[in-house]
Amino acid sequence: MAEIKKVVLAYSGGLDTSIILKWLKDVYHCEVVTFTADIGQGEEVAPARAKAEAAGIKEIYVEDLREEFARDYVYPMFRANAIYEGEYLLGTSIARPLIAKRLVEIANATGADAISHGATGKGNDQVRFELGAYALKPDVKIIAPWREWDLLSRERLMQYAAEHQIPIDFAKQSKKSPYSMDANLLHISYEGDILEDPWAEPEESMWRWSVSPEAAPDTPTYVELTYQQGDIIAINGEAMSPATVMEYLNRVAGANGVGRDDIVENRYVGMKSRGCYETPAGTVMLKAHRAMESLTLDREAAHLKDELMPRYAEMIYNGYWWSPERHALQALIDHTQSVVNGEVRVKLYKGNVIIAGRKSATHSLFDESIATFEDDAGAYDQKDAGGFIKLNALRLRIGGRRQQRD
């Protein structure tokens, strides 16, 4: 085992990372630096500092990264209309590059030899954290306790905590949700318990951010989004920061039953996994952004983006945010967004996001004088369509004649 003197731990203060903190000290006999990120998970992060102090940690980082997360990770991803396997809006995936970056930066600042995380050996997060860390610090050492220890159940973790007098609220743990959950500004995910049976319907009590469509208001809510270069900069005429935009849309869309999804997805490590997701803001953002692009983006540019999107989404899902291919695609995507400016009006109603209008005073490609079904005063010569069709049919006609001869 390589000598490790100091480790930066991604630390939430919960059961797993509290045990990892103690385990790192006992197994590696090293100093531990804790890093706790607020990326909009909706839980108080300040207690993590107190828990780390109580555990004797001298270097403690607790950071509010909500704006950076929204501005530099979520917004660029939504410029691409990224969605994995046609359903997943990548809520967990897109948070990992930021956490990996800060782990590396803190390791550099504190002179740490290694970083550590609490991702299990079965999931995607271990890949995402570590690919990101290696891209940013190629020689970094990474400690993944779930791949080393034998504490492979919640019961065994609780036993370890009791044996080593780790301060855990056992009453709280016993009342904790039975689901494995991950939350940030973009989404909250649920896995485990009854969800391990793909036939089992999620319990209504599981959902945290949204009402059921059946219980949503009978009156729709209208929201007007202002876009500048592909990003939402204002809602209902009020300028907002990226994080504030997402907080507002999570609240309003969730209240209208928007954003629930139940998915069986293909993990990068090879297995299929069933998860449920609440992504109210992201569901609105995807639909509205496509509406804005439909008005302002050239046809072939839009189609090229659609062809590249699954590859881009897969890069994020699999942990390649810091790869050269993602950077190259992002440059292309961002270039297309210079014209994606204007307003989109959406109607939120009982789980649905309905486009109720879109306009762009500066970059609309919609020409009513050409598209009209009324008299267009010669703006479009319909006779031209005959030659257009014949030219495009030429290869089909030649192939058809050959088939007749055969």
Q: Which amino acids are annotated catalytic?
A: 16, 96, 125, 180
| DSSP single-letter state for residue 92 | T
* C-alpha triplet 177, 178, 181: angle, nearest 5°: 70
Residue 352 phi/psi, 5-degree rounding, is -110, 145
At residue 5, what are phi and psi to the nearest 5 degrees? Answer: -100, -35
Residue 321: φ, ψ to 5°: -60, -40
- The conformation of residue 177, written as its DSSP 8-state character, comes to -
CA atoms of 130 and 96, how far apart (whole Å):
9
Cα dihedral 60/61/62/66 (nearest 10): -170
With H, G, I as helix, E, B as strand and everything else as coil, classify residue 120: coil
- How many other CB atoms are there within 10 angstroms of residue 141's CB atom? 16
For 59, the 3-state DSSP assignment is coil
Q: What is the distance between the alpha carbons of residues 235 and 121, in angstroms, rounded to a whole number?
A: 41
CA neighbours closer than 13 Å in the CB half-sphere of residue 44: 5
User: In terms of Cα–Cα distance, which of 398, 264, 340, 295 is closest to 79?
Assistant: 340
Question: E strands, 230-341, where?
Answer: 231-235, 238-239, 260-266, 272-278
> Any idea how long the chain is?
406
Nearest to 279 by CA among 290, 271, 269, 287: 287
